[in-house]
Amino acid sequence: MRNVKGQSLIPFIESLRDIISREKILELIIKDLKKDQGNNLLSIYGIGSYFDSNLPSDWIQNDIDIIAIVNSLNPIPKQDWTEVRFEKRKIEEIDVWIGFNTIEGLQEKNRFQLESFANYEWSLIDLKFSKNSKLLYGKNIRDQLPNIEEIEFDYDDILIRSFYHLEKSLKKTRDSRDALKSFMEFTKAVFKFGFYLCVFLDNHYRLTSITATAKKLENFLIIEKIDKKVLDFFMEAINFRRKSQFGKDFKILRTNFIIYTSTLFIKGNLHRKMSFEELKIFLVSRFNQFPLLINFLNKVKKKYYQSKLKIDEN
């Protein structure tokens, strides 16, 4: 099918179909939440790359992140193993994650940590600024959230989320059928590491989009706050999200990223300095203990010692 200038209309039609499909998915989510929660539901926000209008049209989307603000968590069913209220759905091959929060939880960190798996400061930035989230339904509660001009970031908690996705990437690699998921988890790890660097190196950074983070990292490179490797990893992740392939061998790329981020800890270039053993203790102390990542690091360390290249300064 071609228009009068001889250009194919197929890409435009496919893009239009994709937009319509997304709108139907969002309509279904909103309709179900309104039905399930009734008067308990205050508002619904969309966060993450799915709602980032600055991303290119060829960006690969495989999940939707939704935050539902409710009066009370009590009416919402919970899992046996946690008090956190959330739902996971799959709609037309799109993974949908719905997190539930109260305004009171968002106003007080200790309460928030009982309500959500997310990082508190990151969540506030997402919901506080319209550039970082989209109001999909209900009351706009941004003005009821705390002032975050002088917010103190929990760098441990933000950075560990990058390692969390590395752990998931290593787990998916064990099953060849999950190769794409492994790739996607790796890109998430890189994106979250980039955000961590932004807030670590600039405490007043308040954007969460991938495009904004990329621009900030470019500025950091110009003023020599980071080295080129950081931006190289970030651009590899961006290119995969657009072209469905990496420019380098994936396993080598991921190995280099794990080694690079680990050595930054060991050299003391991040928010804290840790030896190799302290790094492992740090990982074990977190929520899922990172068995695959720790095993991977042990293998890397052994290999480096055999080649007389120490990654542990002790």
Q: What is the pLDDT of residues 232-249, one digit of tens each?
A: 999 999 999 999 999 999
What's phi and psi for 146, nearest 5 deg?
Answer: -60, 155
Helices and strands (H, E) in the chain, number of each type: 11, 5
Task: Give the closest residue to 228 by CA, choosing from 260, 201, 200, 181.
Answer: 260
Separation CA 272–CA 83 (nearest Å): 31
Separation CA 11–CA 118 (nearest Å): 37
Residues pairing with 89 in the sheet? 96
What pLDDT shows up at residue 305? 56
Which of 17-26, 57-66, 77-86, 123-132 is least confident?
Answer: 17-26
What pLDDT shows up at residue 80? 79
Separation CA 25–CA 12 (nearest Å): 20
Instruction: Look at strands 94-101 and 63-70 and give their pairing.
Output: parallel
What band does 150 get if pLDDT is binned at 50, 70 and 90? confident
CATH class name, domain 10-144: alpha beta
Only one residue has tokens 């190995």, namely 255
Tell me the percentage of the chain whose pLDDT exceeds 70: 89
What pLDDT shows up at residue 314? 44
What pLDDT shows up at residue 306? 52
Find the radius of gyration of the CA atoms of the chain: 21
Separation CA 96–CA 89 (nearest Å): 5
Residue 46 has pLDDT above 90, yes or no: yes
pTM value? 0.87
